[in-house]
Every structure is written in C-alpha cells, then in structure tokens.
Amino acid sequence: MKDIKALLTEHAFFRNLKEKQIETIAGCGKNVHFSKGDVVFRQGEEANAFYIVKKGAVSIEVDGAERGTIIIQTVEAGDILGWSWLIPPHEWRFTANAVEETSAVALDGRCLRGKCGGDDALAHTLLEKFAGVLAQRLEKTRMQLLDVYGK
Amino acid sequence: MIPQQFRIQKLKSETYDTFTMELVSEKKKDGFSFLPGQFNMLYVFGVGEVPISISGDPTKQENLMHTIRDVGSVTGALRKLEEGDSVGVRGPFGSAWPVEAAEGKDVVIVTGGIGLAPLRPAFYHILANRKKYGKVAILYGARTPEDILYPEDLQEWRSKFDLQVRVTVDRAGKDWHGTVGVVPSLISKVRFDPKNTLAMVCGPEIMMRFTVQELEKCGLMTEQIYVSMERNMKCAIGFCGHCQYGPKFICKDGPVFRFDEIEELFAVREV
Amino acid sequence: MQIIERENLTALFESLKKHGYEIVGPTVRDEVVIYDTLNAVEDLPKGWTDEQEKGIYRLKKRDDEALFGYVLSPHTWKKFLYPPKVKLWEAKRQEKSFTITEPQGDGPKYAFLGVRACELAAIAMQDKIFLEGAHIDPIYKERREKSLIIAVNCGQAAKTCFCPSMNSGPKVTSGFDLALTEVCTPYHHYFVVETGTAKGKDVLKDLSLHPAEESAKESARQVVKNAEDQIERTLKTEGLKENLQANAEHPRWNDVADRCLSCANCTMVCPTCFCSTVEDVTDLTGDHAERWRLWDSCFTMDFSHIHGGNIRSSTKGRYRQWMTHKLASWVDQFGVSGCTGCGRCITWCPVGIDITEEVAVIQKQE
C-alpha cells in the first residue's frame, strides 16, 4: 500500500493533489502484472479500473472485422490507461493487450466512485485530471486522423 | 548555374513509393562535399528539376545519396531511371543542422515520414562523433509499418546502448509489435536534460507544429529547436522568389531554421 | 551641364548606333507608350502625354511637340535586363548521359533612352538582387554591364505617382550614364544634358553641344519642379515594415481579396518584381532538351505548390504575400523597400486597387 501511495505522489497525473486525496485514491489501488499477450481488459466488459502503467506497454485495439485487429494506440510506462470506469455505462470501449511484460497499479473504479460519492472535491479533481487525459488523447487522435504523412 | 552530370551507381527501393539513389560524379573524382541538412536540385533530362535533401553519410563523400518519394512529375521520372542512367545535380544548397552547436549537449531528433531522410546525415555525423554529445534520441513517426524508412539503419541504431531510438506509426495491425501513436508522444518517453538539449525536427508542418509544442512542454526554449521548412523552389539561389517564407528564402536562409527565427511566421497561414 | 538642341537629337541617335548600341525607348503602339527598339527620333512619342488613374490609362495629345511628354509606360526596363522569356541552357542526350551548353555572351548591347528617376531606382533594386548577392545572374549581369542608361527627367506627374514617398524621384540623381531634361517652349526646344559616367561622355564626344547657361539650368529645374508639384499620392513608409509584418491577420486583407482578381497585372508591370519560373522542354526526338526561364507571379495558384497542395491557396494569402514582400520583407532581404512609387500597379489593376490606399487602411487601425 505504501509504495502505491509513493508512486502516485511522484506521478505527474496526481500533481497538485492533496496528500489526503492521494491516500484515499491509493486505498483503491493494487499492483497488477500482465505477461506479454495478456488481455488487460476487453471491449464490452464492465469497466472497473484504470491503470497507471509502471513498466511495459499495452496496445489499445479495436476489432476491425474484415480488416483484422487494428491497434489505435500504445500506452507505456508513465501513461494512464482507461477512462471508461468514470463515465457511464462503465463499459470498456476498446480492448487492451499487454504487448510486453507489463506492471501497473490498478485503481478500482467502484471503490473510487464510492469515495467520490461522499467527496465532491475529490470527484471534481479526478474529473479534471481525466478531462486532461482525454483532451490529450483526442488531440493526438486528431493528428493521427490527419494522416500527415499521406500524399 | 547549370546541372552537373551524375551517374546512378545504385538504386534501392525503400518503401512502395520511396527509393534511394547513390550518385557518382561523371567528371569530378573527389566526391561530393555537403553539410547535413543541405539539399540538391536534381534534374531529369527534359523533364525538370526538383529539390531533394541529401540523405547520405557526410563523412563518406564518395557517393552522393538521395532518398526520394514519388509524389510528382519529376520525382516520378526519377523513379523510372535505372542504374547507369544520368541525372543533373546542382548544389549543395541551404543551411545545415546545428551538429556543431549541439556538441556537449543532449540531442533529440524528431522526424516524421520522409523527414527522416534530411536528418540522417546529421545522425551519421553524431554517430561518428558520438563522444562529443550527451544523450542522443531519435524519434521517428511513420504512417504505417510499411512506410518506415531505413528499417535496417533504425534496427542497427536501436542495438546501440548509447542511443535512444523510438519508432511509432499512426496505424498498425496486430503483427506490429512497436508503438502506435503520434511521434510527439514519444518525446516524454526518452531521457534528455531540457536545459542542455538541442532538438532537430523534420516532417510535415502539422507534425512539426505538434512536436514543437511538446518539446516546449518538456521545457525546451524555441532557441533550442531547429526545424527544416519546405516551399516551392525553382532556382535554389534566391532569384526565382518561389521559396519565400516571409523575409526568408528557404533556399539560402533555410531550409534549416532555429525555430525562434520563424516562430511568428509559423503561426500564420499561407505564408 | 550642356545643351543639345532638339534638332541635334538625331546626332545622338547616330552616335549611339555608331557605338554599337541598340536604342530602346518610348514609342506609341496600340494606344500606349511602350519601350521598344527605336530607329530614329521620329519613333519617339512626339506630342503625346498620358493620363493615369486607378485602373485608367489614356493617351492624349499635348499642345506642344515634347518628345518625352508622357509620364510612364506600362513597360519597364526589366523587360530588357531580365527578359520575360530566356533560354538558360540546352542539353543533348548522349547514350545514358547528356551534355549541357550555356549560351555565351551574345546578349544585346542596349542604350536605354528615357529612363525615369523611379526606373533608375528600380534598376538599382534589381542590381541588388541579381548582382550583389552570393550568386550572380549571368544574363542580367551581361545585359546590365553592356547597357547605357540615358535618363530623362519627368516634366509632369500622373495621378498615380508617389515617387517622393519612396525617395526615388521625380528628379534623376544617380545611376545614369547621361541624364536629359527636356525643355520645350514655343520658342526653344532643347535638352539639358548631365553626364554621369565616362561611358556616357563617350557617346557625346562627336555631338555639337554647348554649355548650359544659368537660365537653361533654371528652366530645367522648373521642369522637374512642375512634375514634383503635380504629385498627389503619398505612402507613409515610417514604421511600415513592422506594421505590415505585425498585421498578417488584418481584416483589410479579406477586403482587398474580395476585389483582387489575382490577375498578376501588378507584378507584370512592377519594375522590381523579379519572380520567375523555369520550363524544361524537349524536342520531338526527346534527345534535345532546353531550360527556359519565364517571368512568374506570386498571384498564380501554383506559384506556391508543394506536393500535396498550394501553400497560398487564397487570394488573401497571395495579395498579402505580394504587398508585404514589396513593402516589408524586401527591406529584410535587400535593405531597401521594393517599391519605387511609380504607381504602375495602381494604373494597371483592372479593378483599381491602390497600394497606397491599402497601406493607409492598415496603418490607420494600428
């Protein structure tokens, strides 16, 4: 537990959070490990966590049917993985696959939602942080869509 | 200035639309001297001329190397040439990457698409003088795994313990084991000291825009960032007016600019 | 200063020819004064003057027989020094290679007759571009060095003139081999001649000249003063470079883009615009290739083409490029403004866009 709190404290995502808040969040965390090829979460399943990747890499994929599996993004050490836990219907929109040996801290969504229920300040802070992650992700997705290297 | 005849010594297909030609002078025997980042005007007999950056090793000047993407009439005509055919060469023209100013510093090279070609000479130079530089990172973004330029070079550089080499693609299937995402995202994944770093950036303008933003977010000042610009070019010696970029001529003031010199222009559309 | 009588002008023509010059100067054709080869004094636009305004040019009869009684031709001397179409080299295929040959030193030897002060300024600007940089244009250099410049002071101004604003006229002060001032009264028609160079002096050698007395000099001064007094338009140059460069998004660019036809007339008549393109051609056998250089204009769409599209795809972008280059970035590039105040771009704009007016609007809102 202690090392999770320490990790969160150092992580850019949790910058400016109060120690108390970090402690609360850390209370919902546990260390997880994925072997290469393991599914971290699967599209359509209930989304009940987000991950702070400590080591390794995870690909976010979508099933393109006749086009096969398409990797839309790779998430690596230091990155945040997963936002579906926060937004109803709390269901994974994509599939995540460990492409290498991967270690992460999984933060339990139900636990966090529960704690946010009684703590507006925490809820607000987390939403703000995730809004930042989403905005960045959107910006980069737009750049991908621009197909800047195309003719 | 009239073109000098060079013979195509060797042709190599890089990707489905990109190829590299090695040229040797038909007259001069002493090779071709250039600075990393400079370009030549390549002439195809009767078809026309096109500016192409030099992509070979500046320390090996026997052969002149150009990597060309087939995107227009002249590049299309270049692609149809065979080994033993001749092309006209005028050059080298333009400004260079700051490989000397970067000595004693960390170097972050960020490239996208064919933009790797104009930076390869700078990277060769750094490799040949590795001890003079601090941490060195080369980040490369391509459209798909099939579009990746110089895969053998990237593989070799990746195997070196003192280089940080990262490649990412915009989209990939399951058989791609590398990174998917845009190249600016890689900047935060490599180690460098933002206070003592020079960044060299080459790629489409949109990619360079996002890259500069990300470098600034990581703590670099615009004086620490160099970019290579592209505009239409006819004469390459400042006469034809085509390559003007505000008060600059890309052909003689550029193509490599320290970003703070052009920052204001870069923000304006249709300059 | 000396005087050539009007009736002795033929002797100047003869002397120029004797010195091997092809005389180029004003002559009337298709209801305009153009610059072309002159065979005799009779080719000059005797008794003609021009009326110019935004989008307007008319030739009118004068009530005297002045030979240089017009203001400015739509032609400029760059037509001769930097030809609109010129062969740069030719190549012959030889098995898998080719050989290239350049045309050598056979350019014409011109005597330019009737060069106005603003046009001297324009030639000086083009000298900076083609002769004073890291690279020298051999075609321009050869023609420029061989040529003889006979300036003629303006005795009248057009409504479109604003050379004093650009510090380039109306009085001829430098850059000439010979400078003439035409004095045409009902009683006496003569030219006051000022010699600028030894080359100029040389062609006067065999002419019958007599020294200009003070009254003639005063008459000559009055001629230029008359032109000066007629100039109405102004362009404020103070702070202009910074002003334009800081106003890339000024709403006026949209406004002018609505009127501008992107026809490129302004760049064709401008005495300093120097943009060019090249054309590579082959004959039918494909064994003989040539490269030609042609005047180009930043108003054409493909001027800024790079693979994937055109950088300046809007008229706004193109007009802004032209004007900010002319009046602002030119200063960065060559140390002087690219405008001489000749007003041709105002006269020859089919929709009457006036550069001085556009500048004033952008300056006002600053």
Query: In a mutagenesis test of the A interface, which of B170, B191, B202, B209 is the best target, namely the one with the most A β-carbons within 10 Å?
Result: B170
Mutation for B interface: C281, C307, C315, C319, most B CBs within 10 A:
C307
Kindly report the nearest CA distance between residue A63 and chain B, in angstroms: 10
Identity of residue C138: P
Q: What is the CATH number of the domain that holds A91?
A: 2.60.120.10
Query: Which burial class, exposed, middle or buried, applies to C61 when counting CB atoms under 10 A from its CB (0-12, 13-18, 19+)?
Result: exposed
Region A35-40 average pLDDT: 96
Q: In chain B, positions 178-237, which contact chain C (CB-CB < 8 Å)?
A: 230-232, 234-235, 237
Please tell me the distance in Å from A67's CA to the nearest CA on chain B: 9
Instruction: Characterize the bridge pairing of strands C22-29 and C110-115.
Output: parallel
Nearest to B206 among A61, A70, A146 (CB): A146
Mutate to test the interface with B, among C86, C303, C319, C324 (most CBs of B within 10 A): C303
Interface touch C97/B247, C-beta < 8 Å: no
Give the chains touching B; criterion: ≥3 Cβ pairs < 8 Å: A, C
CA-based nearest residue in chain B for residue C126: B239
* CA-based nearest residue in chain B for residue C92: B45
Question: Measured between alpha carbons, how far apart are the two ends of chain B, in Å?
Answer: 28
Contact A149 B142 (CB under 8 A): yes
**pLDDT for res A2:** 59
Residues of B in contact with A147 (CB under 8 A): 143, 170
Q: Is residue A151 part of a domain?
A: no
C-alpha to C-alpha distance for B244 and C276, rounded to whole angstroms: 12
Distance from CA of B21 to the nearest CA of C (A): 16
* B231–C304 C-beta distance less than 8 A: yes
The string of DSSP codes covering B63-109 is SEEEEEE--SHHHHHHHH--TT-EEEEEEEES----TTTTTTSEEEE
Q: Please state, for a pLDDT cut of 90, what percent of chain C lies above it.
A: 95
Q: Which of B86, B264, B271 sits opposite C97 (nearest CB)?
A: B86
Decide: B66 and B42 in contact? Cβ < 8 Å.
yes
- Touching subunits of A (3+ CB pairs, under 8 Å) are B
Chain C closest CA to B58's CA: distance in Å? 24
The conformation of residue B210, written as its DSSP 8-state character, comes to H
User: Looking at the partner chain, which of A68, A74, A149 has a beta carbon nearest the beta carbon of B174?
Assistant: A68
State the residue for tokens 């739509």. Answer: C74
B100: buried, middle or exposed (CB in 10 Å: 19+, 13-18, 0-12)?
exposed
DSSP designation for B54: B
Q: Cβ A76–B142 below 8 Å, yes or no?
A: no
Mutate to test the interface with A, among B179, B183, B209, B211 (most CBs of A within 10 A): B179
Instruction: Identify the segments of chain C with pLDDT beneath 50.
Output: 366
Return the percentage of chain A with pLDDT > 90, whole number.
68
A70 is in which domain, residue-wise? 2-146
Report the alpha-carbon distance of residue C325 to residue C252 in Å, rounded: 16
Contacting A residues, span 38-97, partner chain B, CB-CB under 8 Å: 57, 59, 61, 67-74, 76-78
Alpha carbon dihedral B254, B256, B261, B264, in 10-degree steps, equals: 90
Total residue count of chain A as it appears in this document: 151
pLDDT in tens, A50-105: 999 999 999 999 988 888 899 999 999 999 999 898 888 999 999 999 999 999 99
Size of interface A-B (CB pairs under 8 A): 69
Question: What tens digit of pLDDT does each residue of B93-130 get?
Answer: 999 999 999 999 999 999 999 999 999 999 999 999 99
Within chain A, strands assigned E span 29-34, 39-41, 49-55, 57-63, 69-76, 80-81, 95-98, 102-108
- Return the closest-CA partner of residue B119 out of B83, B173, B75, B157: B157
B232 and C282: CB-CB below 8 Å? no
- B-chain residues within 8 Å CB-CB of A149? 112-114, 141-143, 147, 170, 203-204, 207
Q: How far is B207 from chain A (nearest CA, A)?
A: 7
Nearest to A140 among B17, B173, B182 (CB): B182
Mean pLDDT of chain C: 95
Domain extent listing, chain C? 2-230, 240-364
CA B251 to chain centre: 15
CA atoms of B54 and C265, how far apart (whole Å): 38
Which segments within C171-264 are labelled E, that is strand?
Answer: 178-184, 189-195, 210-211
Burial class (CB in 10 A: 0-12, 13-18, 19+), C217: middle
Using a CB-CB cut-off of 8 Å, the residues of chain A touching B206 are 143, 146, 148
Touching check for B143 and chain C: CB below 8 Å? Answer: no
From chain C, pick out residues whose CB is under 8 angstroms from the CB of B46.
91, 280-282, 286, 289
- pLDDT value for A151: 66
Q: Starting at the edge strand that comes first in sequence, how are the strands of the sheet with A102-108 ordered? A: A29-34, A102-108, A49-55, A80-81
- Asked if C96 lies within 8 A of B2 by C-beta distance, the reply is no
Q: Do A78 and B207 touch (CB under 8 A)?
A: no
Q: Which residue has the tokens 């942080």?
A: A129
Mean pLDDT of A32-53: 95
> pLDDT under 50 in chain B at which residues?
none
**In chain A, what are the helix, strand and coil shares in percent, each to the nearest 5?**
40, 30, 30
Contact C169, C197 (CB under 8 A): no
Q: Which residues of B touch C313 (CB under 8 A)?
A: 270
CB-based burial, B125-155: b 16+ in 10 Å, e otherwise:
bbbeeeeebbbbbbbbbbbebebbbbeeebe
CB contact under 8 A, C296 and B242: yes
Between positions 94 and 113 of C, the ones with CB within 8 A of B are 96-100, 102
User: What residue in B sits closest to C313 (Cα-Cα)?
Assistant: B270
**Residue A1 predicted with pLDDT over 60:** no
What is the four-CA torsion angle of C7, C9, C11, C15, rounded to 10 degrees?
180
Tokens of A93: 């929109």
Question: Residue holding tokens 């071709």?
Answer: B32
Using the 8-state DSSP alphabet, how is residue A147 labeled? T
Nearest CB to B173; choose among A69, A139, A147? A69
B247 contacts chain C (CB < 8 A): yes
Kindly provide the ipTM of the predicted complex, given to two decimals: 0.92
Contact list, C335 vs chain B (CB under 8 Å): none
Q: What is the pLDDT of residues A121-139, one digit of tens each?
A: 999 999 999 999 899 889 9
CA gap B226, B97 in Å, rounded: 7
At C184 the pLDDT is 95
**A-chain residues within 8 Å CB-CB of B170?**
144, 147, 149
Rg for chain A (alpha carbons), in Å? Answer: 16
pLDDT, residue C103, reads 84
* Omega before residue A89 within 30° of 0, cis: yes
Is A57 a domain residue? yes
CB contacts, 8 Å: C277 with chain B:
234, 240, 242
The whole-angstrom distance between C94's CA and the closest CA on chain B is 10
Q: Is B269 on the interface with C (CB under 8 A)?
A: yes
Least CB–CB distance from B170: residue in A57, A78, A144:
A144
User: Which structural domains are found in chain B, ordered by start?
Assistant: 4-93 (2.40.30.10), 106-228 (3.40.50.80)
Q: Tell me what pLDDT residue B18 has.
A: 96
Our count of domains for chain A comes to: 1
Beta strands in chain C (DSSP E): 2-5, 22-29, 32-37, 48-53, 56-61, 85-94, 97-101, 110-115, 148-152, 178-184, 189-195, 210-211, 276-282, 288-295, 305-306, 309-310
CB distance C81 to C140 below 8 Å = yes
pLDDT at C365 (0 to 100): 62
Of the candidates B29, B179, B35, B8, the one whose C-alpha atom is nearest the C-alpha of residue B119 is: B35
Asked whether the beta carbons of residue A149 and residue B171 sit closer than 8 angstroms, the reply is no
CB contacts under 8 A, B 63-82 vs A, are 71
Rounded distance, CA C345 to CA C74, Å? 9
Pairing of strands B248-249, C22-29: unpaired
SS3 C110: strand
The pLDDT of residue B177? 87
